[in-house]
Amino acid sequence: MRTIGILGAGQLAQMTCLAGRELGFVMHVYANHLLEPAALVADRVCVGSLRDLGRLREFAQTASVVTYDTELLPIESVRWIGQYTEVAPDPQVLFVAQNRERERLFLAGQGIETPRVAFIQSERQLAEAVSRVGFPAVLKTQEQGYDGKGQALVGRVEDMADAWRALGSVPCVLEEWLESPLEMSVIVARGANGDMRSYPVIDNEHRHHILHRSTAPSTLPDDVQRKAVAITERIAGALSLTGLLTVEMFYASDGRLLVNELAPRPHNSGHHTQLSAATSQFEQLVRAVSGLPLGDTRHRPAAMLNLLGDLFLNTDDQSYRRYGFAYPDHVAGNVFFYGKSEARPGRKMGHLIAVADTAARATEMAYEWYGKFEDARR
């Protein structure tokens, strides 16, 4: 029986483990500690530092292939693992995706449009960046940014230096600010043989820079959706992807379709496929990296809402409020918790999925169930 390793043990790894076990694979995760979400369900767990080369070698030698659930990995460690077993997606894909400058330069080389951008290595380049991008603009660290972390909205030249210092005086990118763009994502799987399957376009809504709601199918014009899928598949081909890739995009008010970010892993916006599709994004990742045929990506209309830690904190002392209510049987299977032991504001504790005849009805159902969490906190 083949063993699939996952570098990282968060909720994406957890759901991938469950999907892999259903397909008959032994799932082995590399975790920081035994209480991480994936460590709770994996067949095997290796606990260690991401920079412990000895432990990483031991982990790699147990697996036929290793994948990962985050871009926030030391690239040297991923390449080290590649000496002992196959890594999918290839470490070079991760190298591109985990740095905003490399990502933007790669996309420009493919003729794919992104928001206007300037690269900043030092404080003396701030003024030049402003002249290229204009105001308002978003200053983002080149690495280690997610869910709104590592970025700042800047509206005046006078604020640029303070914003750059607040971000740690590290290499950054300055990007144009888009006023109320429509946000979307496309998830594509590609096997080592070049076979490729994309899921339909997903509409996304963020609150405080964290994904709140995803719905599919998209409400965007058909030609925009076709272009979004074509862009995603072009990127996957150019990267020689083996695995899963999510491409986040903006549809700007002036009609531009702009790529914002690449994530070579399962994505929060694709969670709805657990119930809406014959093949979930997690099963599809396992299929892609293991050499199994890719599954069907068609799905029923669906909506997904994230359940953040804010919903489970007592308002008086911010202590963790346990789930003190039960759903009826016909709803319980639509709610997914990750088993995290501590709730914090903005921390993803779980999600819920509604599937219906239309995306609008699925959204209504999802908010009806979501209301129970809000009511319990009041």
| Domain boundaries along the sequence of the chain | 3-87, 116-176, 182-377
CA neighbor of 134 nearest in space, from 109, 150, 166, 156? 156
What pLDDT band is residue 147 in, cutting at 50, 70 and 90? low
Phi, psi dihedral angles at 94 (to 5 degrees): -60, -40
Question: Could you say which of 3.40.50.20, 3.40.920.10, 1.10.287.3510, 2.40.440.10 is the CATH number of the domain covering 3-87?
Answer: 3.40.50.20
Question: Which range is least confidently modeled, 96-105, 149-158, 338-347?
Answer: 149-158
Joined tokens for residue 155: 């509206």
The helix (run of H) or strand (run of E) holding residue 262 is: strand 257-263
Q: What percent of the chain has pLDDT over 70?
A: 93
Q: Kindly tell me if the per-residue pLDDT of 371 is higher than 90.
A: no
Q: What is the pTM of this model?
A: 0.93
CA distance 29 to 52: 15
**Predicted local confidence at residue 122, as pLDDT:** 86
Q: Average pLDDT in the 353-366 region?
A: 97
Residue 167 CB coordination number (10 Å): 18
Side chain identity at 251, as an amino acid letter?
Y
Q: What percent of the chain has pLDDT over 90?
A: 73
**Predicted local confidence at residue 148, as pLDDT:** 63
Q: Average pLDDT in the 173-200 region?
A: 95
Q: What does pLDDT average to over the chain?
A: 91
**Predicted local confidence at residue 376, as pLDDT:** 67
**Predicted local confidence at residue 310, as pLDDT:** 86
Q: Average pLDDT in the 182-188 region?
A: 98
Pairing mode of beta strands 44-47, 26-31: parallel
Joined tokens for residue 308: 């953040």
- What percent of the chain is helix, strand and coil (3-state, nearest 5)? 35, 25, 40
**Predicted local confidence at residue 322, as pLDDT:** 54
What pLDDT band is residue 279 in, cutting at 50, 70 and 90? very high
In CATH, the architecture of 116-176 is 2-Layer Sandwich (3.30)
Q: Kindly tell me if the per-residue pLDDT of 363 is higher than 80.
A: yes
Cβ-contact 304, 272 below 8 angstroms: yes
What pLDDT band is residue 330 in, cutting at 50, 70 and 90? low
Side chain identity at 35, as an amino acid letter?
L
Q: Are domains 3-87 and 116-176 of this chain identical in fold?
A: no
**Predicted local confidence at residue 124, as pLDDT:** 85
Q: Average pLDDT in the 274-295 region?
A: 97
- CATH superfamily name and code, 182-377: ATP-grasp fold, B domain (3.30.470.20)
Joined tokens for residue 301: 């209309």
**Predicted local confidence at residue 328, as pLDDT:** 56
Q: Average pLDDT in the 107-126 region?
A: 92
**Predicted local confidence at residue 324, as pLDDT:** 46
**Predicted local confidence at residue 150, as pLDDT:** 78
What pLDDT band is residue 135 in, cutting at 50, 70 and 90? confident
What pLDDT band is residue 375 in, cutting at 50, 70 and 90? confident
